[in-house]
Structure 1
Amino acid sequence: MELPIPEKVQKIWDLWSLRGCIMLSLLLQIILVLFASSRQRCKNSLLLTLIWAAYLLADWVAAVAIGLITQEQTRTCGHKDGEFDHDIYAFWASFLLLHLGGPDTITSFALEDNEFWLRHLFGLVLQVMAAGYSFYLTLPNNKLWPPTLLVFFVGIIKYTERTRAFYLASLERFGRTALRKPEPGPDYEEVSTNYFSKLLQVPIQGESTENQISSGGVGSSSHDPYMELNRITLNAFDELELLKAAHILFERFKGLIVGFFLTSKDRKSCRDYFLKITDHQCAFRVVEYELSLLFQVLHTKVVVVRQTIGYILRFISLSSILGATIVFLLTEKNGFKSIEVILSYSLLIGAMVLDTISVIKLIFSDWILVVLKHSWRRYVPSFILKRERWSRLVFQYNMISYCLDERPAWFFDLSELFHLREVLDKLKIMRFSSSYKVTDDLKKFIFDNLKEKSNKASTLRESTEACIERGGLALSQSTDKDFASYIKLKWSISEFQYTESILLWHIATEICNEEGNSNSDRKEKRKSKILSEYMFYLLIEQNTIFSPVLGDWHLVFQDTCAEAKRFFRKYSVSNHSRAVEKMNSVRTKFRPAAVKGGRSKSVFFDACILAHQLQKLEDKRWDIMDQVWLELMSYAAINCRPIVHAQQPSWGGELITFTWLLLNHLGLGVQFSEQEERAGMKMVAVK
């Protein structure tokens, strides 16, 4: 039995279902063109949600509208009353195909979208057939066939560009672009003859193959990108030079994303170059440009459009839309409804404006600016070059607030019965977490310390050993004048897993910083507190970054939180300052494991012990905590799966991703191959 639908509602649906979809589709295109590119420099959850919703709805609405058009045309086929409606419907179907092609500013929202390029190829074939069928039903009496055909042609171009962009950004295809050109080496037979002649001490005519190779002959490349890189003098005020350097480094280091090993030459050349950089702003700006280039390659049409054929197709598309507008303007419109004519004009004007915006954004994109001739650089507006390409924000949250923000407590306890605790925790973190703008002081601290570590690690083995440190090296260097202090603090690193150490040091840092703030009114956060709250936020919100080193983090975290909540309820603690005061007053003579046994994974009272030990170091503790937190973040950055780092630029960027690239550029990564060095050592041994 069918539910009765009021006739008035039915009429409204019949009249506005298709038109509503058309208007919504155009609105979604406007949102994507205007806001999609801003997601690489914004962490606002509302804006990101808007872009995400528009991205998902755009394809769905356009596909549904094409289906409604073909359904309506098929239903009213042969009726003379709907002849003109059929013509305008076919015209709209071509625009919907264009909308399915999407704007240049976004092709994929996440990296996973690129892997479904085959599905989009199948969708391209189906939607082109559907739009073509809609056009076919109106022949041979279609009064709008010239503009419809022009827009239909543009729609095929746009949709094909998007599908190709998906394919080129898929990890398999992207990995191929990171491979160097095939290098078969010198001809084996010639080299063998030369080698045999050398053994017999028989002189041969001409220069030896070995000398040819060493002088840039067979199997060698005359173009060395690092020679060009060394000619670039980095200056914080010369944005185009910074962009050029970033482009060279991007082409050499993009293989990191797909897990390729880089050569020792890449390591040495890039390391030598970055060690010459004295300004931390230059180093961070170069990395910012690199990640921006990566974002555009993986999530926009820039790879497709910036080719010669891409420029030609873009000119053809804009000219075709303009031609369709002129033809539609001159076409006699007797028999068409006013609302349909107005909507058609809206689609035409919208297409021209959005295409023009896309062309302007393409002209001033990083990929075009990097190949710009020197004589043209003065015409580039300064605000285009100096615009931010990441949010420059780090989210902040701490475990004490995480435990105290559960108000009312009974409501959170009740939510566990309905398995909604995780949802409430997410909402709580969104509500109470804050963001902090990365300061120049923090950038300088990170770059200078990584640079110093690189200076000390001159070989691949030393750099690998430096990367596996997760706080111990910082402790030994910071307390080298007081060996007893090092022994007292070493347990906090050596006796715990990595994520346990993070939680342990996080709680201790909260206690020390609160105690330090009570003595002097500090307006600016200490570096240790910034990194501590940042790492804690990443652990509870984006723990995929830590997946290779996560361990039993969830068990440790739940036990520590449970013990902290019990402690706060015992003393009726309701605010952060009071909580730290009570934790600071705890006097522990014995380690919790010795008293309670090893059943609980909580590190709550271990953190109190560590805080007391750090407080005894007085002012030296700040430097120790800063160094330890930088090493803890560096350890997570270098052990994180590269593909996870590649996802971050589309969500506003992360400081930990910048640290990862800086580590690799300074020769401290773990994806450098020693094969060439071993081969070189064998050659020396043979000689």
Structure 2
Amino acid sequence: MALPPIPIKVKRLWEAWNFRVFIILSLLLQALLVLASPFRKRTRSKLLLVFIWLAYLLSDWIAAFSIGLISNSQEDSESESEDACKPKGKPKGREDVTAFWASFLLLHLGGPDTITSFSLEDNEFWLRHLIGLILQVLATAYIFYQSLTDQSKLWIPTTMVFVVGTIKYVERTRALYLGSLSRFGYSVLPEPNPGPDFKQAIEIYSSMRTVVVKMQTPEVGTNPVYNWKPLEEIQLLEEAYRQFEIFKGLIVGLLLSSKDRELSRDFFLTRTASEAFRLIEYELNFMYEVLHTKVNVVRCPTGYLFRVFSFFSILGALMVVSIKERFMFGDKKSDVFDVRLTYALLIGALGLEAISVLMLIFSDRTLLALKRSWRKVVPKIILTRARWSRSVSKYDMISYCLNNDAPKWMDTLVVYLGAKEILEKMKIWRFSSSGPVSGDLVEFIFEELRMKSRTANDLRAAMDACSQRGDWALLQTSRAIYFELKWSIVEYQYAESLLLWHLATELCYLQETEIKPSADDDHGNSRQICKLLSDYMFYLLVMKPVLMTPVLGNWQIVLQDTCAEAQRISGRRSISKKSVCEKILEVKTKIRPLAVKGNKSKSLLFDACRLAQDLSELKINKWKLMSKVWVELVSYAAINCRPNVHAQQPSRGGELLTFIWLLMNHLGLGTQFYEQERQAGTKMVPQK
């Protein structure tokens, strides 16, 4: 059965307004990307990130689709002149205006300076964007060529905007290319250094005698920058950029020399916790700009020249259009709309260009380029503004188990569609929360890692320190406690141990919910630090397992078996978390669950109950001990995460795990260092 034909009125309406609507939408998406994309590095709002992601994807598609519609409309206009029987939905004689609009769409395809890629994977598709650049420039040039007649009045402003659009698109493609990991890895390599001509050196040394000259080795700490004097904000920014230039090779797996390790370690050991985290915040912001914006192609003499040229070209196009307006448009209602649309495109382009220039002026790199005398007049708010979300997402396993039930029809639909993982993540998004990264947490993490760094005087000791995942914290407390609790760490894989300590932390925490706050501030702070790190790591485990892929093992089996046992205790009915914990803690666990249940189930529920009971019986501040263990569990995951995964996090609000990874490397606790031969204490000097 044939489908009914589309009414002629609908066809005319579509032909007259299709690309106009899409052009307006394209302009709105550009404004949204310019204004909203900088916020994605300092927010954890999933709604905003999804909104930016949709705008990023739609902006390219709509601009390219609109160019195709304009090209098709020109072909229809030509065929209308040959076939008078066809319905005339598009007014004739306006090809120069539509060609002018098409040049703006090419400018939109170039995208704003504030976002070139949404993720690192987008950078790897730079070749696809290069092909798109060639095709879209040719398509727009074809539209422009078709509009050139004796009556064309817009060829000058169209040429101006076409050139600007081409420049913008080339800049974006080049930024994607420079941000790809392969090209980025090549850019961080030092210049080739073949060393002195060995043959010539041998001949010279053969004809001379040598004497030994004692060399003085500078003492560690003599560099004036390595002192305990607090640094001003602009000095922190300068140091962060210097450290970024040295450590950016970590992203692509480059090994750094032991000399770089020692210099960085000496410097960070003399900093406070707030200074260290502020330095890393600046450093990660530089990483974000290099990988996801046009900073590499804009911040150079050619880039500055193109910015000036682009702004004045669009301004010149606006002046030409305002002068020739009455010759280009008529008095019909559609003509009035076209006039307004043309001015909207021109003023919008000027406004977005001005915003981009302002962002460029107030960027960190511009502040670094200013002379010291000019830096004093820079408002402090520009330097101290947030460059990451300064928060972490939280979720706990007992809530996960209690909220895991769903109607049977939904389970059937999920199985049929294969969308179980999506449904589970939607549940976690619904019930999870976020918490601020407090100064106490930053101070505690930094002091724990600094203590480790002071004991790691060489690379072997640093490697040993990175391999600890809680046992070092137990041993530092007391040998008796270490032998009593080491089973919870050494007898399990990392992910299993993490789930075990997470459940034990939750049981201990809920056990004290009715206890009045202690007068001991240290006790209360340690308790909150434990809870925050515990819930944070569980959230990463279930929502962002890619951050811990190298150390996960069979965590999913352990998680589902543990949840099944927790649901059996709760009776699969609505029950509070505290009630579930009370039922779990009522069980006597003097005998190991493995001895009773065997290997059939991988559940850790009652192993966690045993650990919680052991911790409660300690005669020391258990929360202080647990917080030390949690710092080790977090740092172990951070240092074992793939560097390119860490590099993705600044564009998603930032992750505390990434901060800890970079901090560990700066403190000399990373695994990407090689032993550089130390400078000899003597040298051979040729003499006649």
> Matches of 2:570 and 2:478 in 1, distance apart?
34
Q: Do the aligned partners of 1:229 and 1:245 also contact (CA within 8 Å) in 2?
A: no
SS in structure 2 at match of 1:353? helix
- 64-73 vs 547-556, which moves further: 547-556
Contact 1:512 1:615 in 2 (8 A): yes
Partner Cα separation in structure 2 for residue 413 and residue 518 of structure 1: 37
SS at match of 1:578: helix
Equivalent pair of 1:169/1:299 in contact (CA under 8 Å): yes
In the alignment, the residues of structure 1 paired with residue 391 and residue 66 of structure 2 have an alpha-carbon distance, to the nearest angstrom, of: 40
Tell me the amino acid that sits aligned with residue 489 of structure 2.
I
Q: CA deviation at 1:334?
A: 3.8
Whether 1:291 and 2:284 are equivalent positions in the alignment is yes
Q: What is the distance in 2 between the residues matched to 1:335 and 1:459? A: 76
Q: Deviations over 1:545-573 (max 9, x none)?
A: 11111111111111111111112217x56
Q: Does the CA-based 8 Å contact 2:477-2:625 persist in structure 1?
A: yes
| Worse overlay, 612-621 or 233-242 | 233-242
Identify if the C-alpha distance between structure 1 residues 233 and 321 changes in structure 2 by more than 3 Å, giving closer, same or farther. farther
Shift of 1:478: 1.7
The 8 Å contact of residues 233 and 241 in structure 1, kept in 2 or not, is answered as no
Amino acid at match of 2:182: E
Q: Provide the residue aligned with 1:59 in structure 2.
A: 60
Conserved? CA contact 2:393–2:434, under 8 Å: yes
Contact 2:511-2:578 within 8 A present in 1 as well: no
Equivalent-residue separation in structure 2 for 1:104 and 1:448 (angstroms) = 39
Q: Which amino acid aligns with 2:95?
A: H
User: Within the alignment, does 1:326 sit opposite 2:319 as a pair?
Assistant: yes
**Is it true that 1:16 corresponds to 2:11 in the alignment?**
no
> Partner letter of residue 532 of structure 1?
S
Offset of residue 322 of structure 1: 0.5
Partner of 2:622, secondary structure, is helix
Q: 1:682 to 1:656 in 2, by over 3 A?
A: farther
Q: Write the letter of the residue equivalent to 1:250.
A: F
Question: Which residue number corresponds to residue 244 of structure 2?
Answer: 250
Select the residue among 354, 359, 366 that pairs with 1:361.
359
Quick check: 2:225–2:267 contact (8 Å CA) kept in 1?
A: no
Instruction: Please tell me whether residue 97 in structure 1 is matched to residue 106 in structure 2.
Output: yes
How far residue 79 of structure 1 moved from its aligned partner, in angstroms, is: 6.0
1:230-629 matched pairs, under 5 angstroms: 231=225, 238-277=232-271, 279-334=272-327, 336=329, 337-406=335-404, 410=408, 413-418=411-416, 419-480=418-479, 483=480, 485-521=481-517, 526-569=528-571, 574-629=575-630
- Aligned-partner Cα distance in 1 for 2:482–2:642: 32
Q: Give yes or no for the alignment of 1:128 onto 2:132.
A: no
Deviation by residue 1:264-311 (Cα, 9 ceiling, x = unmatched) = 11001110111111x211000000000000000000001110001100
Pair 1:211–1:64, CA change in 2 (3 A) = farther
Deviation at 1:236, TM superposition (A): 6.4
Distance 2:305 2:531 in 1: 53
Equivalent pair of 1:236/1:281 in contact (CA under 8 Å): no
* Distance verdict in 2 for CA 1:233–1:466, change over 3 Å: closer
Shift of residue 378, structure 1, vs aligned partner:
2.5
Letter in 1 for 2:550: P
Amino acid at match of 1:347: L
Residues 495-537 of structure 1 deviation map (CA, whole Å, 9 limit, x = unaligned): 0000000000000000111123322247876111110100000
Deviation at 1:232, TM superposition (A): 7.7
For 1:458 and 1:293, the matched residues in 2 are separated by 29
Structure 1 residues 181 and 211: CA distance shift in structure 2, 3 A: farther
Evaluate the alpha carbon distance shift between residue 251 and residue 519 of structure 1 in structure 2; reply closer, same or farther with a 3 A threshold: same
Structure 1 unmatched runs, 5+: 217-223
**Counterparts of 1:186 and 1:334, CA distance in 2:** 72
**8 A Cα contact 2:34 2:113, kept in partner:** yes
SS of residue in 2 equivalent to 1:435: strand
Report Cα offsets for 1:557-616 as digits up to 9, x if no partner: 11111111112217x561111111212222123111111111221111111011000000
Report if aligned partners of 2:510, 2:581 keep a CA contact under 8 Å in 1. yes
Question: 1:178 maps to which residue?
Answer: 188
Please report the RMSD computed on the Cα atoms of aligned residues, expressed in angstroms. 2.6
Q: Counterpart of 1:568 in structure 2: which amino acid? A: S
How much has 1:371 moved relative to structure 2? Answer: 2.0
The residue type equivalent to 1:270 in the other structure is S
Q: Deviations over 1:179-230 (max 9, x none)?
A: 1222222221233234434xxxx438xxx9x989x899xxxxxxx9x99995
How much does 1:675 deviate? 4.7
Assess if the C-alpha contact under 8 Å between 2:56 and 2:118 holds in 1: yes
Counterpart CA distance in 1 for 2:410 and 2:646 is 33
Q: Which amino acid aligns with 2:668?
A: G
| SS of structure 2 residue aligned to 1:518 | coil
Q: Which amino acid aligns with 2:547?
A: I
Partner residue in 2 for 1:221: none
Distance 1:147 1:228 in 2: 62
Scaled by the length of structure 2, the TM-score of the pair is 0.92
**Unaligned ranges ≥5, structure 2:** 82-89, 330-334, 519-523
Tell me, yes or no, if the aligned pair for 1:114 and 1:166 is still in contact at 8 Å: yes
1:362 partner amino acid: L
Matched, 1:666 2:667: yes
SS in 1 for 2:435: strand
Secondary structure at the aligned position of 1:436 is classed as strand
In 1, distance between residues paired with 2:165 and 2:221?
44
Aligned residue number for residue 193 of structure 1: 203
- Which piece of structure 1 moves more, 408-417 or 584-593? 408-417
Structure 2 CA distance, aligned partners of 1:4 and 1:334?
A: 39
TM-score by length of 1: 0.92
Amino acid paired to 1:265: K
- 1:6 deviates by 3.4
The Cα offsets for residues 443-479 of structure 1, whole Å up to 9 and x where unpaired, read as 0001111111101111111011000111111111122
Is residue 263–residue 676 contact of structure 1 (8 Å, CA) maintained in 2? no
Task: Return closer, same or farther for 1:600/1:676 CA change in 2, 3 Å cut-off.
Answer: farther
What is the distance in 2 between the residues matched to 1:318 and 1:262? Answer: 42
Letter in 1 for 2:509: N
Residues 568 and 621 (structure 1 numbering): CA distance in 2 closer, same or farther, change over 3 Å?
Answer: same
Which residue does 1:220 correspond to in 2? none
Q: Is the 8 A contact 1:234 1:282 kept in 2?
A: no
Identity %: 51
Shift of 1:488: 1.7
**What is the aligned partner in structure 2 of residue 169 from structure 1?**
179
Aligned equivalents of 1:520 and 1:682: distance in 2? 66
The alpha carbon displacement at 1:59 in A equals 0.4
Q: 1:113 aligns with which of 108, 116, 122?
A: 122
From the superposition, tell whether residues 683 and 457 of structure 1 become closer, same or farther in structure 2 (CA, over 3 Å): farther
1:219 match:
none
Cα distance 1:234–1:35, how it changes in 2: closer, same or farther (>3 A)? farther
Does the 8 Å contact 2:34/2:114 carry over to 1?
yes
Amino acid at match of 1:450: L
Aligned counterparts of 1:147 and 1:263: Cα–Cα separation in 2: 55
Q: Structure 2 vs 1, CA of residues 115 and 167 (structure 1 numbering), >3 Å: closer, same or farther?
A: same
Task: Tell me how far apart the structure 1 counterparts of residues 538 and 645 of structure 2 sit (CA, whole Å).
Answer: 18
Q: In structure 1, how many angstroms separate the alpha carbons of the residues matched to 2:241 and 2:306?
A: 25
Q: Which sits farther off after the overlay, 392-401 or 595-604?
A: 595-604
Which secondary structure state, in structure 2, belongs to the residue aligned with residue 394 of structure 1? strand
Whether contact under 8 Å (2:259, 2:676) holds in the other structure is no
SS in structure 2 at match of 1:389: coil
Q: How many residues align?
A: 661
